[in-house]
Amino acid sequence: MEFIHQPYFPGETIAAIATPPGEGGVAIIRISGDDALAVAARIFSGPILTYRSHTAHFGHIYNAQGEHVDDVLVLVMLGKRSYTGENTVEIHCHGGGLITRRVLEVVLNAGARAALPGEFTFKAFMNGKMDLAQAEAVQELICAKNEKALDAAEGQLKGSLSTRVLAFQHTLTQIAAILEAWVDFPEEGLEFATMEELNEDLEQVATSMEKLVKTFHDGKILHDGLSLCLVGCPNVGKSSLMNALLDKDRAIVSPIPGTTRDVLEDHLRLNGLHIKLSDTAGIREAHESIEQEGIRRSKQAMQQADLILLVLDAHKGLEEEDLQLLAQVPQKKTIVVWNKMDLSHPALPKLDVPYLVHLSAKEREGLDQLHAAIDTIIWSNGPPSKEEILITNIRHKEALVESIEAIRRVQEGLRLDVSPEFLTLDMRQSLGELGKIIGTNISEDILSAIFSKFCIGK
């Protein structure tokens, strides 16, 4: 992220298009910085320097040659009351790529610099309008793929995660202060707390942090969605099941075995979640090179998937190749599907698998049972509530894990009567890791990685 590594100049005036590209009724150009009003005054027909904060005004944009560019609505937001914490002007012009770019060009020629990805939110972070966890929540809010992910991002943006981290920091800082006092005044006989009391407080914080780390499983599902892979022998109805789940004819269905030669992907929303669905080539002994490559890709997709639907043909019954597949798939993430239940079939053998459903993909029967099984395997302890604080970011999880490990080292040191100066080093690391989450202890490289994921204009 270039602007992170360049010297940061508070109040530098930047501008960018804040709405998605394409045609629409309205587009927004955002200007932020100390000279935002001055830049806007050079191109806007009204007396913008006299406008009160949070007011809207109709007028006209003119270029440096005095030529009319567009009729616009201008919004003025001053100082700390704006998103960035700096003077901000938003120009609402007519939507459409050409006119929007033309208005932005006029703004840049009037003295603003083109904003880099995420630079407006970076300004908000630097100006204390939000901490780093809240800044990351802005991007997660924009990219949310379902209602639960949206709720989690909104909670983080409001400060739910930050409040929890600050509470951890408060307790650990008090403990660190006691350990530092023992180091600085070893002969004074000061007794701020007993070893047992310190260990009890450390255990309480570490346990709470571990519970928060465990929410990452659910948080990752909400944030990233799931990959669902259909596997099975040739002609068991995988493509028919894909079409049934998507409710459209996405995959070619044929009675000829081996019709699917490659991994076919599509996306759907199922039970409120975003799911990437993959239909794979039928797995069997093959001698033809193209089919062999398709089978190799099928096995690779099976290993990488979050969930597997192993499809069996009820009309044929269980065959040797089915048994081989049953032995290969990881059962904890596999739902076995007896398909073609609408056809005559022999007595089906009892399978020792945790998840099993019966359906007819062709007739669209039994899909509700499959949806329920998917829900069960995803949410082992039930879906998260709207109020629950979830870790959705791997960076936050890693920082919490490192912080917990440092706490455990302090506990072990207390048990072994290790000299306090060594324990204070671990306490500082634990606090430092928590600081990485909210941005009080963060490197420029991490800031670069975070804000480079943002779109320009946010």
Which residues are annotated binding-site positions for (6S)-5-formyl-5,6,7,8-tetrahydrofolate? 30, 90, 129, 458
Q: Could you write out the DSSP letters of every residue in 109-162?
A: HTTPEEPPTTHHHHHHHHTTSS-HHHHHHHHHHHH--SHHHHHHHHHHHTTHHH
Evaluated on CA atoms 91, 93, 97, 99, the torsion sign reads negative
Helix then strand count (H, E) for the chain reads 16, 12
Decide: 238 and 280 in contact? Cβ < 8 Å. Answer: yes
| Residue 441 φ then ψ, to 5° | -145, 80
Binding-site residue positions: 30, 90, 129, 235-240, 254-260, 279-282, 458
Structure-token pair, residue 329: 């798939």
CA–CA distance, 217 with 392 (Å, rounded to integer): 8
Q: Which helix (H) or strand (E) holds 357?
A: strand 356-358
User: 317, exposed or middle or buried, with CB in 10 Å at 0-12, 13-18, 19+?
Assistant: middle
Strands 68-77 and 14-17: unpaired
Contacts of 99 (CB under 8 A, 6+ apart): 27, 69, 70, 93
Q: Which residues are annotated as a binding site for K(+)?
A: 235, 254, 256, 259
Annotated binding site for Mg(2+): 239, 260
Long-range contacts of 445-449 (CB under 8 A, 24+ apart): 446/395, 447/1, 447/4, 447/122, 447/132, 448/1, 448/4, 448/5, 449/1
Which contacts qualify for 416-422: CB closer than 8 Å, 24 or more apart? Answer: 420/179, 420/180, 420/182, 420/183, 421/183
Q: How far apart are CA 375 and CA 334, in angstroms?
A: 12
Q: On the CB side of 175, how many CA atoms lie within 13 Å of its CA?
A: 30
Token pair of 377 as six digits: 């395997």
Rounded-to-integer distance, Cα 27 and Cα 36, Å: 18
Paired residues of 278 in beta bridges: 229, 265
Q: Which of 76, 83, 72 is nearest to 52 (CA)?
A: 76
The one-character DSSP state at 52 is: P
